[in-house]
A and B are shown apart, each in its own frame.
Chain A
Amino acid sequence: MLKLAFYGKGGIGKSTVTANLAAAFATLGLKVIQIGCDPKADSTINLLHGQKITSVMDYFRQYDAEPNDLETIAKRGFKNILCLETGGPTPGLGCAGRGIITTFQILKELQLFETEQPDVVLYDVLGDVVCGGFAAPIREGYAEYVVIVTSGEKMALYAANNIAQAVANFADRSYAKLLGLVLNCRNVPDEQAKVEAFAKSVNVPILATIPRSDEINICEDLGQTVLEGTANSDIANLFLTLASNLQKLTKR
C-alpha cells in the first residue's frame, strides 16, 4: 500500500495535484482512497463532479454522534476512488487539528484500510504543520511519505522549508519521510532554478513540474480532473507519469 501526504502553502494547488494524481493512479488500475484533511472539505470535489460530501465533522455537527459506517461519510468518485473529508469546526471556533485526529481514530475504528484494501492512500493536508493535528497524517501507521507542493514564489518556498524542517524534526518518531517536491508553476522569474536550489538544500528530488494549464482550470469548472475531462492531453499524461514514477520510487 502506497500512502502519501501532500503538504504546501495554502492556495498552492495541493488539492488539484492530489485529486489529479488520485485519478491517475485509478486510471492505472489501482484502488485509491483520497482523504481531505482541510476544514474547507473540498479536496475531493473534482473527483465527484463538483459534489461535496458529508465530512466527518459535518456528520458530528448534524447527528451529534459518531458515524457507524463508512457509507455515511464516504463517496465513490471517478473510477471508484473512495473520497473522504475530515471537515472542520465552525470557522473561528473549535480545533481543526483535533478534528483531523478524531477523524483518523474513527476511520481506524471503522477499519477503513482492512475493509477497503486500497493500493494507494492520498492525504491532502491543510497548509502547514501548524500543530499536532496537522502532523497526524504522517504519524506511524498513516502516510509513509510526504510530498510538498510548491511554486517558485518566495512565500511558497518559505512554507515548504518549514514543512521540510518539521518532517526532519520528527525523524526519531518513525513518522513519514520527505519523498520530494511537486513544482506547480506560477510562472515567476527563474521558477525552475529557484525550486531546484531549494530541492537541493533539503536533499530531495523534484518529482514533477506541472505547467500553468488552462485545461486544469476548465476541467475544475466542470468538477473534473484532467484525467477525466481531457484524458489524452499532455497534462493528463504528466500526472500518469508522476503516478507511475511514484510507484517505482517508493518500491525502491
Chain B
Amino acid sequence: MEDLAIVLPSYAADTSGVASALYELGGLTVIHDASGCNSTYSTFDEPRWFTKESAIFISGLTEMEAILGQDERLINDVIAASQAIKPKFITLAGSPMPHLLGTDFKAIANIIEEKTSLPTINIPTNGINTYAQGLADAWRILMQKLQTAKTLKKTEKKTKTEKPSINLLGTSPLDQSQELIASLKDFIGKNDFNIQTNLSFDFQGKFQDLTRITLAKANLVLSASALPLAQWLYETFEQPYVVGWPFGHLAKEVLKALSKAINDQKISYVCAEMRNKDNTKPTCLLIGESVLNTSIACALELEFNIKTKVITISNNSNNRLITSHNSLSDNIFNHILSADDCQLRENESAIAEIFSQFKHIVADPIYKMIANPANIFHPLGHLAFSGRLSLEYPGDDLLLPSLSTFFRRSLPC
C-alpha cells in the first residue's frame, strides 16, 4: 500500500506526448486504442483543441479485432482517413492493448506508406511511459523521417536576415503555458535573434517550415524531451544547441551561450553550468520538467544567493512494469541535473516528507495538497500533471528581469 497515491495524479502518458508534439504540424496522428478515449489525448491534455484544428484519429480497437489480429481494418481506416483529410504525413502510436499484443507498427507503417505515398512513422508508445518520452520520440523520429525522405535537403536556399536565427525546441502545452511561450518569443525578438521554427507549440506555420529547421544557426532547447532531437541535429547538421530558459538573472547567460553556440559551435547546458555547487543545504525545492525547473533554480540561486534542489519527472527507467525502450536515458538527465537534484521516483508520502525539509516549494498547484503548512508554496502550473487546473498559474512572469514578481508572496531566502 505504500505506493498508493491518494492526492497526486499520474503524469500524462506517452500517447498524449505524441499527440501534443505533432498537434500543429499538419499530419494525421493515429492512436491505436479502444474507441471513446479521444478526449484523453486531444481535449483533457490539449488546451489547443478548442481553438486550433488537428487531425487525431483513434482507431477504435475492439476485443475481437485484438483476438483475431485484424490489422487490415486499421490499415484500411487510416488509408481512408488520409484520403479524406490529406495530411502531410501519418503517425501511428500504440496504447496498452496493442503493446501487450505486440502489434507490429513498423510493418503496418511501411504498408500504409506504400499505399498512400505519404511519409508514415511509428512512435513506439505503450500508453504507460510518460508524456516526456512521447514528445521526445515524436520530434526526433519525425525529423529523422523527413531527413530520410530528403525533404530537409531542400532547405539549402538560405534567407538573408540581419539577426541570427534560432529554433525553439521542446515547447508543448504539456510542459509550458501559452503565456510563457509568448513571453519567451517576445524576449528572443527583443534580443537580436530571429526565431526560425518554434517546434511545436504555437507553430502557426506550414509543414514546409519543418524542413527549414536546419537553416537556424543554433537551437534553444527548452525541455529534456527535445534533447534527443537537438543531439541528432548537432550530429547530422552541425547545429549547436543551448539548454536553458532565460529567466531572471540567468537571461544574460543564456544569450551569451547562444552567441557562443553560433560563433564557436559550442554546446551549453547553461541551466546546469551556472548552478550553485557549494555544500550548503538547499532551502528551495522545485518539482517538474527538468530544463524548465533547473533554469528557475539557477535563476533563483543567482538572484537570491540560495541553494535549490530540483526533482524532475522520472524517465521510467527503473519502472518494473515497463520493458519497452527508453529514449530519455539517465545520461540526458545527468547533463541537466546537479548533484542535489534527482528524478521523481518517490511515493506520495515520501514526497510529503521531503517537502517538510524545505522552506520554499515551487511546483504544480496540486502538490500544495500534500505540502507542509510551514512550506511557502509557489504554484507553477504543469498541464501534464494537473490538466486545466494548471492554466491559472502560467508562470509567464518568470521571464521578467527579476524573479521577485513570481515570488511576490515571499522571497526565497
Contact = CB atoms under 8 A, between A and B. Distances in A.
A97 B110 CA distance: 23
Given A64-B320, A105-B323, A173 B69 contact: no
B97 to A, nearest CB: 12
Nearest to B67: A131
A131 B326 CA distance: 26
Given A65-B320, A132-B102, A173-B104, A105 B325 contact: yes
Interface string B93-125: 000000011111011101100100000000000
Contacts of A245: none
Contacts of B102: 97-98, 101, 132-133, 136
Interface residues of B, number: 17
Given A105-B324, A136-B102, A175 B107 contact: yes
Given A66-B323, A102-B323, A109-B325, A132 B101 contact: yes
Contact of A172 (B100, B106, B111): B111
Interface of B: 69, 100-104, 106-108, 110-111, 114, 320, 323-326
A109 B100 CA distance: 18
Contacts, number: 44
Given A132-B101, A170-B107, 14 more contacts: A66-B323, A98-B100, A98-B101, A105-B323, A131-B69, A132-B69, A132-B104, A133-B102, A136-B102, A139-B106, A140-B106, A140-B107, A173-B110, A173-B111
Nearest first, the 9 closest Cβ-Cβ pairs linking A and B are A173-B107, A101-B102, A132-B102, A102-B323, A65-B320, A133-B102, A172-B111, A105-B323, A139-B104
Contacts of A95: 100
Interface residues of A, number: 24
A191 to B, nearest CB: 34
Nearest to A56: B323
A108 interface: yes
Given A97-B102, A131-B69, A139 B107 contact: yes
A77 B101 CA distance: 33
Q: Which of B106, B114, B323 has the most CB of A within 10 A?
A: B323
Contact of A132 (B103, B110, B111, B323): B103
A184 B62 CA distance: 42
Contacts of A101: 102
Contacts of B324: 105
A174 interface: yes
Interface string A205-217: 0000000000000
**Does more than half of chain A's interface fall in helix, strand or loop, or is it mixed?**
helix
A173 B101 CA distance: 17
A243 B100 CA distance: 36
Contacts of A139: 104, 106-107
A30 interface: no
A108 B107 CA distance: 17
Q: Which of A105, A136, A170 has the most CB of B within 10 A?
A: A105
A156 interface: no
A204 interface: no
A66 B101 contact: no
A106 interface: yes
A66 B320 contact: yes
B413 to A, nearest CB: 43
Nearest to B98: A132
Nearest to A103: B323
B110 A174 contact: yes
B78 to A, nearest CB: 15
A101 B94 CA distance: 15
Nearest to B326: A109
B96 to A, nearest CB: 12
Nearest to B69: A132
Contacts of B69: 131-132
B287 to A, nearest CB: 26
A83 to B, nearest CB: 21
Contacts of A170: 107
Contacts of A64: 320
A173 B141 CA distance: 20
Nearest to A172: B111
Interface in A117-163: 131-133, 135-136, 139-140
9 contacts: A65-B320, A95-B100, A97-B102, A102-B323, A105-B324, A106-B323, A135-B104, A140-B106, A173-B110
Contacts of B107: 139-140, 170, 173-175
Contacts of B100: 95, 98
B92 to A, nearest CB: 14
B360 to A, nearest CB: 36
Nearest to B100: A98
A65 to B, nearest CB: 5
